[in-house]
Amino acid sequence: MEKSVSSPVSIYALGGLGEVGKNMYCFETNNSIIIVDAGVKFPSSDLPGIDYIIPDFTHLKNNRNKVKALFITHGHEDHIGAIPFLIQSIHIPVIYAPRLACALIKNRLEENKLLTQVNIVEYDDLSTIKAGEFGVSFFRVTHSIPDSFGIIIDTPEGRIVTTGDFKIDLTPIGPDIDIAKMAKLGSDGVDLLLSDSTNAENEGYTPSEKNVYDSIVDIFDEAQGRLIVSTFSSNISRIQQILDVAVKHNRKICIVGRSMEKAVEISRAFGYIKIPDDVIIQSCNIKNFRAKDLLIICTGSQGETMAALSRIASGEHKDVKIMPGDTVVFSSSAIPGNGIMIDHVINILTRCGAEVVTNSIVNDVHSSGHASKQEQRLVLKLLKPKYFMPVHGEYRMLKIHAETAMNLGIKESHCFILDNGQSLQLVNHKVTVSYPVESGVTYIDGKNINGLESAVINDRKILVEDGMMTIALSVDSKENILLVPPTIYSRGLINQGSQRSIDECSALVMDAVNAQLKKKTTFNDIKTVVKNVAGEYIYRRTNRHPMIIPVIMSKK
């Protein structure tokens, strides 16, 4: 019998390596590609006007005929948020997702009028799926959202396992992690493991969600006025606990923020959040209740400008204003890069008279959904991989996770710390480094699926940091002379009252343009001269490099 030709399996990330967010991991043979997760990353304050950051799909577009399926591990935005942009870029034959993630994906696609463009199929821990040359099955894990799964990918060349986001919570809000199935996988043999590295720097175990419950009860017991609790709209387990405590303390519940409203609506419809209808009130009715009888739960725990908590703090929300005596609880940890925005909101809340409670040793109001070192060690012991690729983390997290694996006996040469676009190859149960694929980032402003180029982002940064100068020239093209001195407008650079600086810059530009007009020249040459002369002058005066925009009006 003739031996079949080998089809090496390439493993690479288009997002999720060297960063926390925009997770997207791909597995490719000569004929097939399957994708695990398609998430967004939320921009930090140094990316003005950007709504989301998503992976660059160029490699998938160039291999669109090979794409067989998208598999989703769970329903957090950093794993499903890029789906609307992905399915507008390439045809995805089918999306496989757990029950709650299916509902969240469908809602997102319905909002974007894309629901009919893709087939969405629900899976559970008993499902087995054939996608091209890949056999895919699943095991349940615990995380901060229900219905979270690890994924088993069987190929002709060997077995790959990815944990998805997880922690080992022995007293979870919801089903247990399937340790028995993971141990069986380890006994059967795992060639390559991809595992969550977000908390790789933290020794010990991540506290259970049950620990947070006691802290929430204490806060409710002590609060004499309104309680305003902010958390991620996708942290369904936390929301359920907060609402349970509110019901026990006879507080009416007001849900504020579109994403929070939708998350609670979907979770109630599927039975993940259970609260009586009569305890929920609309924001327009909160004035009808005493402060001590109210809970307001909202988004905005990361200080996002347009989120509900920021609008409440700044007085921009039509129904909810901060009052002295309010207790505001941040039931989340800061995403790297968001600390300044969170501090800004806390300062505003405090100035308005609210007592602000954040996660600390004293107030245990948040528990991460990600595994710390001891849980990572346990997973490595259970699954016993021959090769290891840490994922979902900044570079230092990936490196520490790899060191943890090496300390457990995995060879250094068998641990791979990669960047997005770098790839591994699995052939006959052996993993080696392979050729990179095209990767990068796409900046989303609004709903434009094409995204913005880095040059546009750089222009915005220049405008924010260094300001802008427009220099208008009136030129007689026949006589090759300036008709009037240049007119200069500046924003964020030189005060319009600093007329001396404006006049000096105008004079220098006029001399340079007149000299240029004596030569054989073009409008582009004139614009270059204007940028150079004005740029040098402004740098000498302000130590800034503003955006300089020459505008030439020609009389023929």
pLDDT tens for the chain, 556 residues long, are 344 456 899 999 999 999 988 999 999 999 999 999 999 987 766 666 677 889 999 999 999 999 999 999 999 999 999 999 999 999 999 999 999 999 999 998 998 899 999 999 999 999 999 999 999 999 999 998 899 999 999 999 999 999 999 999 888 877 899 999 999 999 999 999 999 999 999 999 998 877 788 888 888 999 889 999 988 888 888 898 899 999 999 999 999 988 899 999 999 998 888 899 999 999 999 999 999 999 999 988 776 777 888 888 888 888 999 999 999 988 877 666 667 788 888 899 999 998 888 764 444 555 788 999 999 999 999 999 999 999 999 999 999 999 999 999 999 999 999 999 999 999 999 999 999 999 988 888 766 666 655 667 777 777 777 788 899 999 888 888 888 889 888 887 766 447 778 888 889 999 999 888 888 888 888 999 999 999 898 888 888 888 889 998 887 6
Which whole-number Å values give the CA distances from 524 to 516, 521, 528, 531, 551, in the listed order? Answer: 11, 8, 6, 11, 11
414 is catalytic: no
- The closest of 545, 547, 548, 550 to 524, measured between CA atoms, is 550
Instruction: Compute the half-sphere exposure of residue 56: CA atoms within 13 Å on the CB side of its CA.
Output: 13
Of 147, 165, 169, 196, catalytic: 196
CA pair distance 238, 332, nearest whole angstrom: 10
The residues facing 432 across adjacent strands are: 425
370 is catalytic: yes
Which whole-number Å values give the CA distances from 252 to 246, 278, 393, in the listed order? Answer: 7, 8, 39
- The closest of 181, 94, 179 to 138, measured between CA atoms, is 181
**Regarding beta strands 327-330 and 227-230, do their DSSP bridges make them parallel or antiparallel, or are they unpaired?**
parallel
Q: Residue 394: what are its φ and ψ, rounded to 5°? A: -70, 165
- The closest of 347, 326, 354 to 254, measured between CA atoms, is 326
The residues facing 273 across adjacent strands are: none
Can you list the pairs that 283-290 forms with residues at least 24 positions away whose Cβ atoms lie under 8 Å? 283/254, 283/256, 283/317, 283/318, 283/319, 283/320, 284/319, 285/254, 286/254, 286/319, 286/320, 289/252
Contacts of 362 (CB under 8 A, 6+ apart): none
Of 59, 143, 370, 414, catalytic: 370
